[in-house]
């Protein structure tokens, strides 16, 4: 019996065979990341993979049977993967895993395009919690959809292929930044300065005062058939361009855009694909987490209840009973301890990179405000199933008391009367254009999801 608790480094206790599994899983994860930068991209990737794994479209009017595998894609931005198990749904409930697939980024404003000083720009409105200065002077890619007049939807993705051009937001040269550098960090780059360059080649037209913009609109019209008015009916986002990359000579870590929260979405998706669970399992890729989980595709929407009700009615079960017997993992990232910024952490109650999935009893801020705060009984159950499965996990808080804080979707699921706990992956540089995670942790997260479905 171990009298004292000690956190374990997954790499330290892994044999060669286990290391190979960790690194192989990460290769698959990186591929998923590269095709899943926005919630739309991630939902599409998940749909494609679900179809490859034998999942078929879900309908609210259908009667599900044991063994059914379904996906419900909600407005192209949120997906539910459903796998009906053998067990009695009324008494066994549903095992629910929720992660979000939206990440902080720069959305284009509704009327984004303008020309000034011979350059054509796109105005942006940031989405989620960002340090605005981090988004200048890096290559950006444009992802999203535009609705043409008459209802045709056009998919846009520019800047990801090596031969694609990218977009770019300028910063001030140090030579002239004396005043700028005296400002507080939240003012160094103002929201209205986050304007991305989209072009600089004027048309040969003396009369046209915006001939660069005209030329760009012609290019867009040629490629997508769109006009400037169509941009008013679009959802276009600028995200960091490029692929996920290994970090370190030993390749122990991965740098990528949007680990938060695809690093949890991917393991939960893989678990529902890979394991034929006796329980009924739902894996949810949620949208809008970074801005409060509102709207039709966020976790405050009643869509989750509608899905649970549909499953319950399929088996003549009372949906209230199903919910009360259900269990949930709210899978979201947390802040890994960063020794370069030790003052905002409590060393004893931090989670550490490479030490396994982070189980968090509560999130929130200022005296546990706005948190789920999972009951001890549920954490006890989680501990046993993770330990029995050999999944390495740790626990901690997001940061030191009153240093700040953050929330997850856990409370929205818990508010439905479903036992819920936060389990996720520690991230360094969270919400930066490129975040860092450990390959050991994304694999541990996968094992935790499998344990939860067992």
Nearest approach, Cβ of residue 135 and Mn ion (Å): 15
Residue 68 or 332 with smaller CB distance to Mn ion: 332
Q: How far is the CB of 331 from Mn ion (least distance, A)?
A: 9
Q: What is the DSSP letter of 445?
A: H
The 3-state DSSP composition of the chain as helix, strand, coil percent (nearest 5) reads 35, 25, 40
Q: What are the DSSP calls for 295-308, one per residue?
A: STTSTTSTHHHHHH
Of 241 and 263, nearer to Mn ion (C-beta) is 263
CB atoms within 10 A of CB 178: 9
DSSP-assigned states of every residue in 312-379: HHHTT--HHHHHHT-EEEEE--EEBP-GGGGGGS-GGG-B-TTS-EEEES--EETTTBT-----HHHH
CB of 184 to Mn ion, least distance (A): 22
Q: Which is nearer to Mn ion, 166 or 427 (CB)?
A: 427
Structure-derived torsion over alpha carbons of residues 407, 410, 412, 418, reported in degrees to the nearest 10 = -160
Nearer to Mn ion, 317 or 430 (CB): 430
Contact 430, 388 (CB under 8 A): no
Nearer to Mn ion, 129 or 200 (CB): 129
Least Å distance, CB 424 to Mn ion, is 8
What single DSSP character describes residue 249? T
**Between 260 and 309, whose beta carbon lies closer to Mn ion?**
260
Closest C-alpha to 371, from 333, 334, 419, 406 = 406
Closest approach of Mn ion to the CB of residue 258, in Å: 9
We find the least distance from the C-beta atom of residue 22 to Mn ion, in angstroms, to be: 22
Nearest-angstrom CA–CA distance, 257 and 286:
17
Q: How far apart are CA 324 and CA 379, in angstroms?
A: 17
Report, in Å, the least distance between residue 332 CB and Mn ion.
Answer: 4
Binding site for Mn ion (CB under 5 A): 260-261, 332
Specify the residue, 78 or 211, whose C-beta has the smaller distance to Mn ion: 78
Residue with tokens 């990359």: 245
């Amino acid at each position: 019996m171990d009298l004292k608790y000690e956190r374990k480094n997954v790499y330290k206790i892994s044999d060669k065979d286990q290391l190979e599994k960790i690194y192989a899983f990460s290769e698959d994860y990186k591929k998923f990341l590269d095709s899943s930068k926005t919630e739309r991209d991630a939902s599409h990737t998940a749909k494609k993979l679900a179809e490859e794994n034998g999942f078929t479209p879900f309908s609210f009017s259908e009667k599900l049977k044991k063994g059914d595998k379904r996906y419900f894609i909600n407005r192209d931005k949120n997906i539910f993967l459903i796998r009906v198990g053998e067990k009695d749904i009324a008494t066994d409930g549903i095992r629910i895993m929720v992660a979000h697939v939206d990440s902080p980024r720069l959305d284009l404003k509704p009327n984004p395009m303008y020309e000034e000083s011979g350059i054509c720009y796109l105005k942006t409105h940031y989405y989620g919690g960002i340090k605005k200065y981090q988004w200048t002077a890096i290559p950006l890619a444009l992802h999203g959809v535009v609705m043409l007049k008459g209802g045709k939807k056009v998919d846009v993705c520019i800047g990801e292929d090596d031969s694609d051009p990218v977009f770019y937001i300028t910063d001030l040269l140090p030579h002239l930044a004396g005043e700028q550098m005296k400002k507080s960090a939240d003012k160094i780059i103002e929201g209205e300065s986050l304007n991305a360059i989209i072009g600089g080649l004027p048309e040969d037209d003396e009369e046209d005062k915006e001939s660069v913009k005209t030329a760009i609109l012609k290019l867009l019209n040629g490629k997508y058939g769109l006009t400037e008015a169509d941009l008013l009916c679009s959802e276009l986002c600028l995200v960091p361009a490029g692929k996920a990359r290994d970090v370190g000579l030993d390749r122990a870590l991965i740098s990528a855009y949007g680990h938060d929260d695809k690093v949890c979405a991917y393991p939960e998706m893989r678990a529902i694909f890979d394991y034929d669970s006796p329980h009924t399992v739902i894996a949810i890729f949620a949208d809008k987490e970074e801005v409060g989980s509102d709207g039709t595709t966020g976790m405050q929407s009643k869509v989750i209840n509608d899905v649970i009700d549909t499953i319950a009615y399929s088996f003549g079960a009372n949906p209230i009973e199903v919910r009360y017997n259900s269990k949930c993992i709210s899978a979201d990232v947390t802040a890994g301890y960063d020794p370069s910024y030790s003052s905002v952490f409590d060393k004893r109650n931090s989670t550490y990179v490479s030490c396994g999935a982070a189980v968090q009893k509560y999130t929130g801020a200022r005296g546990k405000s706005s948190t789920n705060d999972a009951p001890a009984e549920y954490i006890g159950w989680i501990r046993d199933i993770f330990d029995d499965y050999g999944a390495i996990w740790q626990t901690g808080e997001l940061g030191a008391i009153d240093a700040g804080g953050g929330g997850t979707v856990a409370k929205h699921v818990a508010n439905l009367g479903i036992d819920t706990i936060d389990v996720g992956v520690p991230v360094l540089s969270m919400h930066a254009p490129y975040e860092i995670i450990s390959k050991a942790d994304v694999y541990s997260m996968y094992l935790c999801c499998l344990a939860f479905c067992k």
